[in-house]
Structure 1
Amino acid sequence: MHTVAVLAMPDTIAFDLSTPVEVFGRVRLPGDRPGYRVLVCATEPVVTAGPLRLAADHGLDALTRADTIVVPGRNDPSAPIPEAVLDALRDASAAGTRLVSICVGAFTLAATGLLDGRRATTHWAATDRFRTAFPAVVLDPDVLYVDIGQIVTSAGATAGVDMCLHLVHRDHGAAVAADAARLTVAPLHRNGGQAQFVRRNLPGGAATTLGQILDWIEENAHRDLTLDDMAGRAAMSIRTLNRRFHEQTGQTPVRWLNAVRVRRAQELLETTDHGIDRIAHQVGFASPTNFRSQFKRASGVTPRAYRSAFRHI
């Protein structure tokens, strides 16, 4: 039987810890046989998990018996990691064990060096910290999970469910995975990635010397603005404006403007019944076609799919 070991370190995120326990623990094969044996392996006799205190039945030594090791996130992903944990993960990788992270558990995997030069993901809100800490990792912040074979990383919270169901499909096939999805009351595969959950270019979100022009764009994004308009308002040449934006926001002025418009559109899709074409014009896009294209590029889903997912949240 496939053994899944869930690693419990101090200050583990309780949701991340419980996700693999529940998803893998409920998988049933033909004849009602369990699909997995799930162990919780703690670094200490009692570890914290948010407001919970967890006494696990297994220590780090049990990781050697695992076919898959799941590393949940911790509330402070930058907290020191016991060297014994890093050594155990490296040894498991060398032995061919599958390593999996949920949310900011990717920080723990990255600290082993096993993600260097490889594609991975983590919670979108932690991407800047992750890139700073682990510049050698090829980070993809827009997807729900990344499967590169022996190592699988997932984005935050419920993306861990998506990833676990993906692994059930990989291990036992579509029929077993579909049953697991029904038990979890979750889709077997969600459209889009975590980009649809990201709030981009929030007001006050960029501590830059471009503050006045950013505020002006925020107030006037619904207008038919051009790069000339923005450069004129900032009293800069277009070349200087482009350079300042790239240095201080990592984006071009036009991309920043489109992100502001997309965020406004997300708000309208969530809170109104306005038609897609009307929203396109309300937020400043020249045409509904351009709006749909820019919205899909920024969020990973169509405006209609976004409204379906978020209208009643």
Structure 2
Amino acid sequence: MTTVRDTLEIGILVYPGAQMAAVHGITDLLAVANRMSVELGAQERPLLRVTHWCEAEGGGLAVNFDTHPQGVHQPRAIIIPPSLTQAPVPELLERFCGDLRQWHREGALLVSVCVGVFFIAASGLLDGRPATTHWNFAQSLAERFPQVRVETHLPLLDDGDIITSAGLMAWTELGLNLVERFLGATLATETARFLAVERVQVGPRAGSVFSPCLDHGDEAILKVQHWLQGSGAKDVSLEGMAGHAGLEERTFLRRFRRATGLKPTEYCQQVRVGRACRMLEFTNRNIEQIAWGVGYQDPGAFRKVFHKVTGLAPSDYRKRFAAPSV
């Protein structure tokens, strides 16, 4: 008896001028991940359903490619590929802002490669948040969207509900990152092995990647999650989170834990520690500066929380994972 596998939809935004090598390359990479999943007998894992979203003649977006057609579309991630030409012009960016905001509001992970970040930035979803892009477009991104914190030293920046990547060919590592997030590290490793692709990050995984649950369907809680990711969970309180959700505190606590699997305090710790990990990996700031930067007034309390989340002291984490230039 053949078991019908669940599917998990990953959409690719095919805008005018998009690099089609990336579009088809990501599609093929995810197909290989599905093949590895079948060969390894990972029946409990969903198959990755890849859809291509293009502008329709009558307006709006429509799917013109679907690896597992089944009617209803609910992307868990939307990938904005790079372009071979230049940074997208404002008129092009504006055409997709509403769709990106809607996908994000519904819990989709937004993912960009190279200049794809301009589309997310134009939607306002990166205001006050960090992002990376190709070094050749970093100044343009910063000038056109001054509220975005551009961090070009990072090849890939996973900020929970938005992932941005720098290089024109970063779609390979980004695709493997998504395979790891949705199907697990083993399938990501086997996919990379089959494709003879060397992962950017070798050895033990750094602890800076927090992958929050975004597909639970509770709009009030998702609204708070996006707020926490955007603010870095600094200076937040239970009262403030419940108010942002429009819920009574006890109701908020119950629904937040049911949706995310974490208490609000635990979730905030994950967000803050994730930011701290990135600073330890890519900056020379001392531990006290990093503690203050992510919202802890007491460096001792920060060290305890950091060890609880990562299993390492901040200084040991830096020794193990810091970029060579730090």
* Normalised-by-shorter TM-score class: 0.5 to 0.7
Aligned mate of 2:76, from 62, 67, 73:
67
Residue 25 of structure 1 aligns with an amino acid whose one-letter code is A
Q: Distance in 1 between matches of 2:131 and 2:72?
A: 22
Which residues in structure 2 correspond to 1:1-313 (within 5 Å)? 1-28=7-34, 29=37, 30-31=40-41, 35-44=47-56, 56-57=64-65, 65-74=74-83, 75-79=85-89, 80-81=91-92, 83-190=94-201, 301=324
Task: Give the match's secondary structure for 2:188.
Answer: helix
Aligned residue type for 2:148: V
Q: How far is the alpha carbon of 1:125 from its aligned partner?
A: 0.9
The one-letter code sitting in structure 2 at the alignment partner of 1:86 is C
In 1, Cα distance between the equivalents of 2:110 and 2:166? 15
Structure 2 residue matching 1:158: 3-state secondary structure? coil
Contact 1:63 1:88 in 2 (8 A): no
Q: Which structure has the greater CA radius of gyration?
A: 1
What is the Cα deviation at residue 31 of structure 1? 2.4
* Contact persistence 1:63–1:92 (CA under 8 A): no
C-alpha distance in 1, partners of 2:167/2:200? Answer: 16
The CA deviation string for residues 131-184 of structure 1, in whole angstroms up to 9 with x for no partner, is 111111111101111001111011122222112212211222211110111122
Total equivalences in the alignment: 182
How far off its partner does 1:43 sit? 1.4
Deviation of 1:6 after TM superposition, in Å, equals 0.5
Distance 2:21 2:171 in 1: 9
Residues 34-66 of structure 1, C-alpha deviation per residue, up to 9 Å, x if partnerless?
Answer: 731111111146xxxxxxxxx9337xxx99521
The percent of aligned pairs where both chains have the same amino acid is 29
Partner of 2:172: helix, strand, or coil?
A: helix
Alpha-carbon distance between aligned partners in 2 of 1:26 and 1:130, rounded to the nearest angstrom? 34
Q: Normalized against structure 1, the TM-score is what? A: 0.53
The TM-score normalised by the length of structure 2 is: 0.51
8 Å contact kept, 2:110–2:162: yes
**Equivalent pair of 2:93/2:119 in contact (CA under 8 Å):** no
Give the conservation status (yes or no) of the 8 Å contact 2:82–2:168: no
Q: Distance in 2 between matches of 1:119 and 1:178?
A: 28
Runs of 4+ in 1 over 6 A off after TM superposition: none
Cα distance between partner residues in 2 of 1:84 and 1:78: 11
Q: Secondary structure at the match of 1:89?
A: helix
Alignment deviations for residues 177-207 of structure 1 (CA, whole Å, 9 cap, x no partner): 101111222113346xxxxxxxxxxxxxxxx
In structure 2, relative to structure 1, the CA distance for the partners of 1:84 and 1:127 (3 Å cut) is: closer
| Secondary structure of residue in 2 paired with 1:179 | helix
Contiguous gaps of at least 5 residues in structure 1? 46-54, 192-299, 303-313
Contact residue 121 and residue 154 of structure 1 kept, 8 A: yes
Q: Which amino acid aligns with 2:26?
A: P
Which digits, 9 at most, give the CA deviation of each residue in 1:8-44, with x for residues without a partner?
0111122332232122222132427673111111114
Q: How far, CA to CA, are the matches of 1:187 and 1:63 in structure 2?
A: 35
Task: Give, in whole Å, the separation in 1 of the partners of 2:72 and 2:134.
Answer: 25
Distance 2:150 2:72 in 1: 27
Partners of 2:18 and 2:171 lie apart in 1 by 14
Q: Give secondary structure in 2 for the equivalent of 1:153.
A: strand
CA deviation vs aligned residue, 1:270-302 (integer Å, no higher than 9, x gap): xxxxxxxxxxxxxxxxxxxxxxxxxxxxxx557
Contact 2:18 2:82 in 1 (8 A): yes
Closer/same/farther in 2, CA of residues 156 and 22 from structure 1, 3 Å limit: same
